Structure 1
Amino acid sequence: MGKRDKKQRHPQRNSHRAAFHYTEEGEEGVSYESHAASKYSLSEGEEEVGKKDEEEEEEDEEEEVEIEGNEETDEYPSKDMPSKFLLYQQSVQSPKGDISYLQKFFLMYVGGRQPLHLQEDFCGTALLSAEWLRTDSRRTAIGLDLDLEALDWCMENNINKIGADGYSRISLFHGNVLQPLEAKLIKFEPQELLRNISLTENKVVTESGGLESVLEGGSSSSSHNEIYMRNHPLPARDIVCAFNYSCCCLHRRADLVLYFKHVLDVLSKKGGIFVMDLYGGTSSECKLRLQRKFANFTYFWEQAEFDIIERKTRISLHFHLQKQQKKLRHAFSYSWRLWSLPEIKDCLEEAGFQSVHFWLREMQDTREIRKTEGFGVGRDIKYEEVKKFQQQDAWNAYVVAVA
């Protein structure tokens, strides 16, 4: 790793999402095992990884066999350094699969209408929200996250691909899920408007002849005329979701209940649902390293030792880019508390939800999948609603709470 790569380590400390899961995007697409968190609970020392782990990673990379090109990962020239957010989306997320289940859950537990209004908490680059808007022109989306860099990247790389009305149907907020009303609306200019603007000597000359200062910082909000969620008109939400295990960022039970109360407050009085995911199994409480090989990069998911007293662990996400011969160590790093399903159910009921449902599926034994290629594992495994479920090496769950 060169000096430039080492310098990138500290600025990335506030980045918030990391995951390892297997996906199949389709009408009943599913995710295998995903992990995400936020700087809500990231501590200063959690990015340090021993020399032994780095040597083990290098040994793993030397043993891999490069696979053929893949349309999902072959989107950047060999000399360009892709964004860590792009790498994350390509190796982790499956928005079509998640949306398929969200629609299914809504029709099962609410029914009577089509869900149109989504809120994605801990949204990161809001890829799920972007896909939600793409599926129906009547739909709206709200995204909330503490990572301003991820939100800006979303508007520059995801929302602009939806269509002419994409910007008008989404509201992205920068803030804490525990204080959602204080979150600030991210302002931006649609591409259609920017096409009518020419830049001259650091001034903006519009077609009407007026002069304005050049926007700085991309799509970020300025310090003047800030709009907060508390005074911005928004539709009641049909669905609120918190995926990629983001609720594990909240380490205290009181915070978890408070968050669930905020969710309940924004759901439609006509009926709505909150959906989150969770993982578990014997492999979730031990040190674990997994990797997946793609056409242009290798994705590493690293789980540190598990503290059984606080039920906390540290997760680190790394990328090794073959063509660039560079490593993004700790592209995403964070700490979380691994909640149990009964704890989540108790907190949801305490917050005021009427019913809670568990949809689970067993995962392939992690001892058999330390190294994989692409998304080739677990394609035929579907989630099923269960009342009881015996402990396994690894399992994944959707938790559906009905308002």
Structure 2
Amino acid sequence: MGKKEKKQKQQQKTSRRGASYYRNEEDEEDYDFNNNYSQSLASSSLSDQEPEHDDSNEEEEKEEEEEEDADDKTASKKGMPSKFLLYQQSVQSPKGDISYLQKFFLLYVGGRLPLHLQEDFCGTALLSTEWLRNDSRRTAVGVDLDLEALNWCIENNINKVGADGYSRISLFHGNVLQPLAAKLVNFESQEIMNSIGSKDCKDDSESNEVKSAVQVGSSTSTDDMYMKRNVQLVPRDIVCAFNYSCCCLHKRVDLVLYFKHVLDVLSKKGGIFVMDLYGGTSSESKLRLQRRFPNFTYIWEQAEFDIIGRKTRISLHFHLQKQQRKLRHAFSYTWRL
């Protein structure tokens, strides 16, 4: 399809341009998604099924995704909500997850309260930051491959926990299969800024010294943003891998290796590992579900199932009502069931 024809076609429908974002090593889906599954499936079967795509349509979609990727870089400048914020609002329920984690720990371990959590495939580490809220003794560790998500967490989640939030959480940028190679994200500058906002400086000279320290920290190289030293962490009472994240590990050897790493960090006094899995008859067919929120619509799209490799492709889209924009393929994953 020529560019002029494509342009005319796009003028006859709502713009399909949006942010495009892909991750192959982690998964993020709602722990409570299946609660509304039946109702969503009924509505989607009437209005949300997409037609079969031919080669020309696939070529057009590829061009659109390239445009969407360019739009993602300027989305924040146009007042677009972050894809991470939309994900947290539509998919995650950290308070409910923490409630279950505590119950499981008391059921299978007991004798003490769990204080130390590790969230693998953590993304924006919303669960970890929520974990810190109710008890000042709690600590959290988050591991994820997506540096953008970790930085977003530092700027938007940890700062809401409290003045001591930065000192009780450790975020690692790396692969859960190679935890020793993961780099600890250094948010010293954010911690300094947080302290500036929470209390008055004693005098102008001290204030100037702190501000200059922040400026120096912000001008450091990318490598200096991470702590490369070995970090001593408290053994974890709970390790979790939610949102079907383990489905991103396609090989048995990788899954077993991951379980070994989990066992290594659990407390010798007793600890639990909690994960969820994606499956069921609906997971082996093409599927499209949607859930409406006040300002946007969340869409779950599942490609056709590869019965030989037992793999499927999941994409999450967001339709923004106020901005009249679509964030197609905001998050995409390839899972093996």
* TM-score for the superposition, normalised by structure 1: 0.64
Q: Using the alignment, how far apart are the partners of 1:277 and 1:325 within structure 2?
A: 34
Matched, 1:175 2:178: no
Would you identify which runs of 4 or more consecutive aligned residues in structure 1 move more than 3 Å? 4-8, 14-18, 20-23, 30-33, 49-52, 193-198, 207-212
**1:224 corresponding residue in structure 2:** 224
Asked if the contact 2:31–2:97 (Cα under 8 Å) also holds between the matched residues in 1, the reply is no
- Which residue does 1:215 correspond to in 2? 218
Partner of 1:192: 194
Residue 31 of structure 1, CA deviation: 6.4
SS of 2:86's partner is helix
- Kindly indicate whether the alpha-carbon contact (under 8 Å) linking 1:250 and 1:256 is maintained by their aligned counterparts in 2: yes
Q: What does 1:1-400 correspond to in 2, within 5 Å?
A: 6=17, 8-9=19-20, 12-14=21-23, 16-19=26-29, 22=32, 51=57, 80-188=79-187, 189-190=190-191, 191-195=193-197, 205-207=208-210, 213=216, 215-216=218-219, 222-224=222-224, 226-228=226-228, 231-338=230-337
Displacement of 1:139 in angstroms is: 0.4
1:279: how far off?
Answer: 2.6
Aligned AA for 2:224?
H
- Asked if structure 2 preserves the Cα contact closer than 8 Å seen for 1:289 and 1:303, the reply is yes
Mapped to 2, the partners of 1:208 and 1:160 lie a distance apart of 18
- Aligned partner letter, 1:13: Y
Is the Cα contact below 8 Å between 1:287 and 1:304 reproduced in 2? yes
Deviation of the 1:225 alpha carbon: 7.9
Deviation at 1:137, TM superposition (A): 1.2
Q: Check conservation: 2:237, 2:267, Cα contact below 8 A.
A: yes
Describe the shift of the 1:207–1:146 C-alpha distance in structure 2 as closer, same or farther (beyond 3 A). closer
Aligned equivalents of 1:82, 1:294: Cα separation in 2:
14
**Shift, 1:80, TM fit:** 2.5
Query: In structure 1, how many angstroms separate the alpha carbons of the residues matched to 2:96 and 2:335?
Result: 25
Q: Relative contact order (C-alpha < 8 Å, sep 6+): which is higher?
A: 2
For residues 178-226 of structure 1, the C-alpha deviation after alignment (integer angstroms, 9 at most, x for no partner) is: 000111011113133454899xxxxx94249779525059xxx841384
User: Tell me, what secondary structure is at the counterpart of 1:98?
Assistant: helix
Q: Which structure features the higher share of helix residues?
A: 2
Question: After superposition, what is the alpha-carbon deviation per residue over 1:283-322, rounded to whole angstroms, capped at 9, x for unaligned?
Answer: 1111100001111001100001111111100000000001
Amino acid at match of 2:29: A
Q: Determine the C-alpha separation between the residues in 2 that align with 1:156 and 1:281.
A: 38
Distance in 1 (alpha carbons) for counterparts of 2:18 and 2:277: 33
Partner Cα distance (2:248, 2:27) in 1: 10
Q: Which runs of 5+ in 1 are unaligned?
A: 24-29, 34-48, 56-78, 199-203, 339-403
Tell me the distance in 1 between the aligned counterparts of 2:212 and 2:280.
Answer: 64
Instruction: Identify if the C-alpha distance between structure 1 residues 304 and 99 changes in structure 2 by more than 3 Å, giving closer, same or farther.
Output: same
Q: State the SS of the aligned residue for 1:295.
A: coil
Identity %: 70
Give the Cα–Cα distance (whole angstroms) in 2 for the partners of residues 291 and 168 of structure 1: 39
Q: What is the CA deviation profile of residues 21-51 of structure 1, one whole-angstrom value per residue up to 9, with x for unaligned ones? A: 646xxxxxx9667xxxxxxxxxxxxxxx774
Q: Which has the higher strand share?
A: 1
TM-score using structure 2 length: 0.75
Alpha-carbon separation, structure 2, partners of 1:225 and 1:319: 32
Show structure 2 runs of 5+ residues with no match: 1-9, 38-52, 62-77, 202-206
* Cα distance change, pair 211–244 in 1 and its aligned pair in 2 (3 A): closer
3-state SS, counterpart of residue 279 of structure 1: coil
* Aligned residue identity for 1:164: A
Q: For the aligned residues, what is the CA RMSD?
A: 3.1
Inter-partner Cα distance in structure 2 for 1:291 and 1:216: 43
SS in 2 for 1:150: helix
**C-alpha separation in 1, matches of 2:214 and 2:139:** 33
> Are 2:117 and 2:236, in contact at CA under 8 Å, matched by a contact in 1?
yes
Residues 328 and 20 (structure 1), Cα distance of their counterparts in 2 relative to 1, 3 Å cut = same
Distance 1:18 1:110, change over 3 A: closer
Provide the aligned length of Structure 1 versus Structure 2.
Answer: 281
